[in-house]
Structure 1
Amino acid sequence: MHELIVSPFLDHHLILRPGNSAGLKVPEHRYVELRDAAESGSPVPDWLCRPALRQWGVELNGQSASTALLVRGRPPYEYGRASYEVNMACNWECPHCYLGLKEDAGMEWEDREKVLHILRDAGVLWLQITGGEPTIDRQFPAVYSLAYDLGMMIEVLTNGSRLHNPLLLRLLTERRPYRLTLSLYGATEESYDRLTQRRGAWKAFRRGVDAALDAGLPVELSVIVTRDNEHEIDAMYELARVFGVRTREYNNMTPTYFGSGETLSTQALTRGNQRGVFTGCDAGHTSLHVDPLGMASICKVARDKQIPLLAEGLAGLAKLGGIADKALLRQGGCSGCQLSEQCSTCMPLAQRYRQADAPLGSYCQHSPKEVTTP
């Protein structure tokens, strides 16, 4: 199993340690030197041995570059990041979930394997594995293992309910993710079980997070704030402090990705539209999303136009840039807004809000009288 990943990443060349978010940036000629050393089976160069020991505690002196290093080739595209939704099924039934009706659908292993190779060949170095709840998918271990072995740095988004499973825990400790992001839905059993609509959810989460922390996995918490648990905001952050982990807060409830609005009633009253000004993003150009059926889109939200990867393969991804450019243009009720440069909502998400007949205040920081339309 490789110790380090050596890879082009957009305009850079990186050396990364699986399971560790810190990396090294090297000039192109060093990348070429490591590639040639791996191809010839030469020892790892001295200039890498010293920083590898200092940065990650990895002893490479005397090791063959062909075994210690996984050197990735130059991709035809620059899709450095991707999210892969392995399923839409979940063992919780959270009313705020943007997936809406969570159907258990996915590809057979051969097709998943093909999709992962396409993502690798497209240049994807940072892969987010999500769902639904990815760890309940019967092929999650195989998907995770192959992505790791192909030289991807992996983040898993999970509710944590199955992390106490010995086989799953062994997989994640032997092939470490660089980040394991667990959703936190409350600070007490009562509120947690109520929001997830599953009795025993809190106990499953606590078993999972305790097992992950005991194993030394890189856990972070996504603090989910809704109308049901906003009274426990401080307690949730205190829990994260006790765990000793970093946090991110998710508090803007959005319509489902297909534009229904039943999720909007879960918006926390104490947390309004707190998004920063939208200044553009890399969706469709250097990042992409893949759904459980192998359909590629520019992101998780904008799925109106998708590329069937199994049919079109790597070449199909060339279309995403054009799709992204059109999707991000101001259109519909937003096309004439004179304050669009201050807007906090991207156009694909604004379209979902409009499809859901959402109140303007839920996605636009300006009152109706301040918004002009053609």
Structure 2
Amino acid sequence: MDKKTYAIEYPDGEYENILLTHAAEKKVPIQGEIEITSKCNFGCIHCYADQEKSSMNPVLFMRIADQLRQNGCIWLLVTGGEPLIHEAFDEMWIYAHSIGLRLSLFTNGSMLIDKKISVLKQAPPENIEVSIYSLSEQTQRIITGSAQDINSLLSRLHSLKAVSRIVLKTPLLTENVEEIDKIEQLAKENGFSFRMDAVIHPALSGDCSSVSHRVPADKAASVVMKDPAMREQLRESNSHNRLPFETEGYLFPCSAGKYSFHIDNEANLSMCSIYRNRAGCLKEESFSSVWKRLTDLRETKASPNKRCSECKIKNICPTCPAVGKLHNREHDYIDEYICQYTHEIAALSGIKLL
């Protein structure tokens, strides 16, 4: 008799929600990011990652990758710095892919040479997010200190389109705000997705000069909210907690320490890329022991200031304890720019505050 197989079909997105819900309940580190180097060939005016420049040992990377799989990790983002600058990127990437990790890559695209493209075709990432700062060489140099041949980059990305989802992403800056529509249109014309980072943060070192490049909150909101689908998505997000677990009353209103994590180039395990609390170092301890410490910290209760706890639009506010820390303040610090920006996007989306 032939053995029958059965498949359970879920509506779009429901399977992932079920998976994340169970991961949160069991505290399984199902997704995370690993910074294999802090070195970069760009010197961006808005970059938050201004720590000491170094790269992860490839043998250490492979050991960590093995431990991640053993502890239930499925999705791993490889980032930097500029990850493609790492001398052992090829072998590290292929190894992580070979043990079953579903990889994504953040890159500025400048080092997507033929050899790297071959590696990515051999071990395809689920997503490749490529930072595009400007279509003007002059503005590109102002923002990054380097030039980027957009046409050449697009050609190289097209060669990867068959094996990976390509995302062009752009930070919203005073220097490029007038180009955002053109960059988004470029993405659409080439069949790529588009993402914009609207809020610029201070650097990890505490240097706040990067926030001078923020677009005024009302203008930033108008750029972000011009898409009707985005307005509808925001209204939906405001109506309920967007995460599959309770966040009310906790210090961390996100997935960090529940089922997600960040590992820096020195193998320190932290909540996320901008909250570098360094729960422990994976050079010295196992992932499981440091992860346990991180999940315990995640359960920290908080008594947020009344202004935030009673806010009618807190579900769509992009603030968090990391913002206060980056500003060299307390966890409940209110970044007035973020507060104004959130109220602006709420108003443009038709969200009632009363």
- TM superposition score normalised by structure 2: 0.73
Task: Describe how 1:41-56 pairs up with structure 2 within 5 A.
Answer: 47=5
The CA distance in 2 between the partners of 1:322 and 1:118, in whole Å, is: 19
* 8 Å contact from structure 2 (residues 267, 283) kept in 1: yes
Q: Does 1:146 align with 2:95?
A: yes
Unaligned 5+ runs, structure 2: 10-25, 225-233, 242-246, 248-252, 344-354
Task: Describe how 1:26-41 pairs up with structure 2 within 5 A.
Answer: none
Alpha-carbon RMSD? 2.9
Distance 1:265 1:218, change over 3 A: same
* 8 Å contact from structure 2 (residues 27, 295) kept in 1: no
Aligned equivalent of 1:342: 313
Distance 1:324 1:258, change over 3 A: farther
The CA distance in 2 between the partners of 1:346 and 1:360, in whole Å, is: 8
1:174 to 113, 122, 142: 122
Task: Describe how 1:168-317 pairs up with structure 2 within 5 A.
Answer: 168-198=116-146, 201-203=147-149, 205-216=150-161, 217-269=164-216, 270-272=219-221, 280-313=253-286, 314-317=288-291
Instruction: Give 3-state SS (helix, strand or coil) of 1:168's partner.
Output: helix
* 8 Å contact from structure 2 (residues 279, 290) kept in 1: no
Distance 1:83 1:245, change over 3 A: same
The CA distance in 1 between the partners of 2:290 and 2:334, in whole Å, is: 37
The CA distance in 2 between the partners of 1:110 and 1:360, in whole Å, is: 41
The CA distance in 2 between the partners of 1:235 and 1:361, in whole Å, is: 29
Distance 1:296 1:353, change over 3 A: closer
Distance 1:360 1:108, change over 3 A: closer
Aligned equivalent of 2:22: none
- Paired letter, 1:111: L
Instruction: Give 3-state SS (helix, strand or coil) of 1:237's partner.
Output: helix
The CA distance in 1 between the partners of 2:4 and 2:34, in whole Å, is: 37
Q: Does 1:324 align with 2:298?
A: yes
Give 1:196 shift: 1.0
Instruction: Give 3-state SS (helix, strand or coil) of 1:363's partner.
Output: helix
The CA distance in 2 between the partners of 1:152 and 1:338, in whole Å, is: 38
The CA distance in 2 between the partners of 1:207 and 1:250, in whole Å, is: 24
Higher relative contact order (CA 8 A, sep 6+): 2
* 8 Å contact from structure 2 (residues 262, 273) kept in 1: yes
Number of aligned residue pairs: give it.
Answer: 290
- TM superposition score normalised by structure 1: 0.70
* 8 Å contact from structure 2 (residues 202, 327) kept in 1: no
Distance 1:338 1:225, change over 3 A: closer
Deviations 1:214-243 (A, max 9, x none): 343421111222111111111111211222
- Name whichever of 212-221 and 355-364 sits farther off: 355-364
The CA distance in 2 between the partners of 1:339 and 1:96, in whole Å, is: 32
Instruction: Give 3-state SS (helix, strand or coil) of 1:154's partner.
Output: strand
Give 1:187 shift: 2.0
Give 1:337 shift: 4.6
Instruction: Give 3-state SS (helix, strand or coil) of 1:247's partner.
Output: strand
Deviations 1:123-159 (A, max 9, x none): 1100101101101111211221111011011110001
Deviations 1:9-61 (A, max 9, x none): xxxxxxxxxxxxxxxxxxxxxxxxxxxxxxxxxxxx87489x9xxxxxxxxxx
* 8 Å contact from structure 2 (residues 133, 170) kept in 1: yes
The CA distance in 2 between the partners of 1:85 and 1:240, in whole Å, is: 26
- Paired letter, 1:319: R
Aligned equivalent of 1:127: 76
The CA distance in 2 between the partners of 1:349 and 1:305, in whole Å, is: 13
Deviations 1:57-90 (A, max 9, x none): xxxxxxxxxxxxxxxxxxx961110100111111
- Percentage of pairs with the same residue: 22
Deviations 1:178-204 (A, max 9, x none): 111111101222222221111xx221x
Q: Does 1:96 align with 2:46?
A: yes
The CA distance in 2 between the partners of 1:336 and 1:268, in whole Å, is: 24
The CA distance in 1 between the partners of 2:303 and 2:99, in whole Å, is: 38
Give 1:345 shift: 3.8
Instruction: Give 3-state SS (helix, strand or coil) of 1:355's partner.
Output: coil
Aligned equivalent of 1:361: 336
Distance 1:360 1:299, change over 3 A: closer
- Paired letter, 1:339: E
